[in-house]
Each structure stands twice: as structure tokens, then as C-alpha cells.
Amino acid sequence: MKVSSNIGIINALIRITVGFTILAWSTSKLARRPWRDSYLVMAVIGAMKVGEGILRYCPVTALFEKGAEGNGGSGGFGGFKAKDIMNFKDMLKSDKATDHKDHNPTNAPKQDPLDNTKKESNFNPEELTNKEVQAALNGDNKEGTDPLS
């Protein structure tokens, strides 16, 4: 069985840090109460996390990826591979194309493209003159001078 690294360097560093934290906490508690088995279990889990970080291999991640290959090669849970779980940009993207034809509510009036009375949605405040800015700050709402209407 060939074992290759299946977690990234950032993930490995996080596992080492969390593993040493759990190991130190459980060891200190185990020194005070040696009859409690839960602290021993936590020490073993912390040591496993440190080992996974040093070797950069996680057997749970390997099983997860192996199971994903059997499902038509979809690449993991929800289309994401286990080693890419730290890539938040990919997690936020949808794998399926959105079928939203209209984002506006059905009772909202639609704007006529030939109607020039409304300003365009790509309003650029850098194009305002000093008089228009001063009028907006003073609260003067004269027709045609307010750039936000």
C-alpha cells in the first residue's frame, strides 16, 4: 500500500498545533486525576493529530476520497474534495448553474430601457460637480440636480 500525503501544509500545521494543545491539556488533567479514562482518550486523540500533521497523511481523509472515487468520480462531498476543504472560495461557489431568470419580485415594476428619466445603476460619484455635492449635503432636492434620484 502506497501512502502519499493527502493534506496540505496549512492543514498539517493546524493539526500539529491543535494536537499539541489537546495533548498538553489532557496530560495536565491526567496528572491530577489518573483514574479518569477520558483524559487518556483525549491524549491519544491529540497524539494522533500531531502524527497526522507531521506525516501529512490522514486515514479518514483517505477513506473519504476513496469513497468519493467510487461515486462516479464526483470528487467528494457536494463536489468538493476533502483536501480542498480549506479553500473557502471554492466552497462558496456553486457547482450547479443557477436557473434564476429574474431576481426581481413578480410585482416589481420593470424599467423601460428607453426611459432616460432614471439614472443608470452604475452611478459614479466621481463624476459629480462640487455644486451637486454641496446641494446634496445641504438637502436641496431640486428636480434634475439631485444625482441620486
* Residue partners of 149: CB distance under 8 A and separation at least 6: 119, 141
* DSSP codes joined into one string, 55-110: HT--HHHHHHHHHHHTTTT--SGGG--GGGTT-HHHHHS-SSPP--S--S-TTSPP
Q: Of residues 46 and 109, which shows the higher confidence score?
A: 46
Where does the pLDDT of residue 146 fall: very low under 50, low under 70, confident under 90, or very high at 90 and above? very low
Task: Answer whether residue 64 shows pLDDT above 80.
Answer: yes
Higher-confidence residue of 100 and 44: namely 44
Task: Specify which of 36-45, 119-128, 138-147 reaches the highest per-range mean pLDDT.
Answer: 36-45
In this predicted structure, the answer to whether residue 97 has a pLDDT above a threshold of 50 is: no
Among 1-15, 99-113, 116-130, which is the least confidently predicted range? 99-113
